[in-house]
Amino acid sequence: MLKTIPNQITIARLLSVPLLMYLILSDSNIGRIFAVILFFLAAVSDAVDGYIARSFNQTSVFGQFADPIADKLLISGALIAFVQLGELTAAAVMALIAREFLVTGLRIVAVHEGQIITASILGKLKTLSHMVLVLIVLAARSFPLGPGGEIAKTWALVLAIVLSVISGAEYFYRSRRLFV
């Protein structure tokens, strides 16, 4: 199953994480511009591999495992690099990453109980908000966006945190029977 196109796209996204972090932390403007391009392509590839897998009946256990891991590593890698650069605070990034650990742990408990927790629309919106946040921070570092860039970054961060909390709470609410 690793030879399917969706799985190859997922593997490429996984392998892009170290390069993305290197480019984000680059002192060169061209490196930062390449970071914007690479992150955008990786973010789009997440939708593409899912679409191909469903449309051509190429879903697999590997894909169900690796695809969300690739997303989490891609976004977390960028967020951690932003903390190093002083673009985001460690507390804000920790709030975003903690939700990922909590929901992943919840899914592990559910699997142990013979249940599958599927992604909700709020979870998908949360992922989209994280991708938008990363793109805005990358764009503000690479292009002269002026004060509008800082305002957009602040609002994107607030939205990402709010959607992380709400979607995380929704997953736990939907799975509350696991804990009784």
Q: What is the pLDDT of residues 8-41, one digit of tens each?
A: 999 999 999 999 999 999 999 999 999 999 999 9
The answer to whether 159 and 129 have CB atoms below 8 angstroms apart is yes
Write the pLDDT tens digit of every residue in 57-109. 998 888 888 999 999 999 999 999 999 999 999 999 999 999 999 999 999 99
Question: Is residue 55 very low, low, confident or very high in pLDDT (cuts 50, 70, 90)?
Answer: very high
* Residue 146: predicted pLDDT: 92
Write the pLDDT tens digit of every residue in 150-173. 999 999 999 999 999 999 999 999
Question: Is residue 148 very low, low, confident or very high in pLDDT (cuts 50, 70, 90)?
Answer: very high
Residue 44: both structure tokens together: 């789009």
Nearest by Cα to 176 from 115, 131, 130, 119: 115
Structural domain 5-179, CATH architecture: Up-down Bundle (1.20)
Nearest by Cα to 164 from 104, 100, 119: 100
- State the Cα–Cα distance between residues 151 and 142, nearest whole angstrom: 16
* Residue 1: predicted pLDDT: 63
Domain boundaries, the chain: 5-179
3-class SS of residue 145: coil
Which letter, b or e, does each residue of 46-82 get, where b requires 16 or more Cβ atoms within 10 Å of its Cβ? beebbebbeeeebbbeebeebbbebbbbbbbbbbbbb
* Residue 116: predicted pLDDT: 87
- In this predicted structure, the answer to whether residue 2 has a pLDDT above a threshold of 80 is no
Length of the chain: 180
- In this predicted structure, the answer to whether residue 179 has a pLDDT above a threshold of 90 is no
Question: Is residue 119 very low, low, confident or very high in pLDDT (cuts 50, 70, 90)?
Answer: confident
Please give the share of the chain, as a percent, with pLDDT higher than 70.
Answer: 99
